[in-house]
Amino acid sequence: MRPIRRLLIANRGEIAVRVVRACRDLGIAPLAVYAPIDAGAPHVRLADDALPLSDDAPAASYLNGALLLDLARRAEADAIHPGYGFLAENPAFAAACEAAGITFVGPPSAVLARCGDKAAARSAAASAGVSVLPGSGPVGDDEAVRQATSVGFPVLIKAVGGGGGKGIHLVRSPEELPGALRRARGEAQTAFADPRVYLERLIERARHVEVQILADAAGVVVHLGERACSVQRRHQKLIEEAPAPDLSPELREALGRAAVAVARAIGYRNAGTIEFLVDRSGFYFIEVNARIQVEHPVTESVTGVDLVAAQLRLAGGERTPVRQDDVRWTGAALECRISAEDPHSGFLPSIGRIDGVVDPSGPGIRVDSGLWVGQQVLRHYDPLLAKVIASGPTREAAITRMGRALREFLISGVDTTIPFHLWALDQPEFVQGQYDIRFADAWNGGAAPPDAERLAVLAAAAWMFHRMATPALPTDGTAPRWVAAAREEGLR
């Protein structure tokens, strides 16, 4: 291993911006790649250099490992950071990097393969004395019927190469299985270039709790505490927090020990997350996420550890940045994932052009975003637009600050999930920290969308923001639609 000097960031959006910033802090030269649709993206502007990809389709761009490796060689990059999603947990891509003499910022390919083989990961967890859920290894369509009967309905179909909640389908009866298998395989192929799926028994009212780990090449494994990730819709996380509420000190300590034991049993290296389901009878290992998580900022907020910088240091051969006895947890933090979806219409994707953005700020507020005015939001990619992270000395203070921030946040041009998040923060179960993975099912559309007067005010704010960045606006009818709305209201 050697220190990283030039890093190719094989991703887009907010995580690409986040990696650029970590590179700046460490004196590493960040190199971006971009599909045509991302030519105006912040990560392209912020990097030292940006290399174009020829196609917007993920399979031909951010999932094209051979192309990304070729670009890394040509740019004389000595390392590649895959972010999350796309190729982040692909052992074949990690192996190709290793063969090319390019550092893959993540676990070695052999470890990725062990984590990706869910049956092997469950076996490793069981050998470490950690309880696991009944499930299967990768299954074919014919075998799935027999395995599902053995596991017991209801079952979840999960993508072997998955993560981020993609490729997961609930099946309650044998009749539902064939169609769900087809959908899950298609989603897995699109998102991870791997159509394999496996089965796992569903626990109806569990809580989803995960533990952040760091592991170095010398075999030292440290956990940085847990995160609660139970606010989900269609297996996609919407709100995360650290520390997880309503856990006894004994359970919290046991989860940390279990995560370290699983990581050691697998031979883990770099940053990763060990995921569990928690119910009244105890907790169960479900999988290892062998990458940086979308929700990593809440752990950074309560520990003060820069997890992306830790990834880069560990990939360069350094030891873990902290020892277990040195880890301290202070206060509380929440993260809301702001996505281009319409929560008033069943969370349908909202496609369009970003006309204006006004970020929230103030004490305890952080925004991780890859948004820019003029951005086209397409169906090609994950709908995540930005993440709002609120921290405070107590959980109550963090919740209050998050509510303030969400009311300040303006994204004009597409619908977003902000109304859902505001509803969630106001629910007694959430406020009291006593919610589970079915919490979001209670959402029924919430309040009506903002009225015309509020829309006019938001349009004016977006217009003012854009005027600060752009000296002149077109008057020939091609101006963004929020400009037209503002003009109709007489807001000059």
**What amino acid positions are annotated as catalytic residues?**
291
As a whole number of angstroms, the distance between CA 26 and CA 5 comes to 9
C-alpha distances out from residue 242 to 299, 446, 455, Å: 6, 26, 34
Which residues lie below 8 Å from residue 476, measured CB to CB, with a gap of 6+?
A: none
Helix (H, G, I), strand (E, B) or coil at 156: strand
Other CB atoms closer than 10 Å to residue 325's CB: what's the count?
Answer: 7
Helix H, strand E, coil C: the string for 373-414 is CCCEECCCCCCEEEEEEEEECCHHHHHHHHHHHHHHCEEECC
Q: Are 247 and 209 in contact (CB under 8 A)?
A: yes
Q: Are 2 and 317 in contact (CB under 8 A)?
A: yes
Helix (H, G, I), strand (E, B) or coil at 491: coil
Q: Are 331 and 406 in contact (CB under 8 A)?
A: no
Give buried/exposed letters for 261-291 (b at 16+ CB in 10 A, else e).
Answer: bbbbbbebbbbbbbbbbbeeeebbbbbbbbb
As a whole number of angstroms, the distance between CA 481 and CA 473 comes to 12
In terms of residues, how long is the chain? 492
Nearest to residue 211, comparing CAs of 320, 281, 288?
288
Please classify residue 94 by burial: count the beta carbons closer than 10 Å to its beta carbon, then call 0-12 exposed, 13-18 middle and 19+ buried.
Answer: buried
Structure tokens at 355: 């006309």
Q: Where are the beta strands (DSSP E) in 310-375?
A: 332-339, 341-342, 348-349, 352-353, 356-358, 365-369
As a whole number of angstroms, the distance between CA 260 and CA 247 comes to 18
Measured over the CA atoms of residue 254, residue 298, residue 369 and residue 351, the dihedral's sign is positive
**Beta strands 155-159 and 197-201: pairing type?**
antiparallel
Q: Are 227 and 207 in contact (CB under 8 A)?
A: no
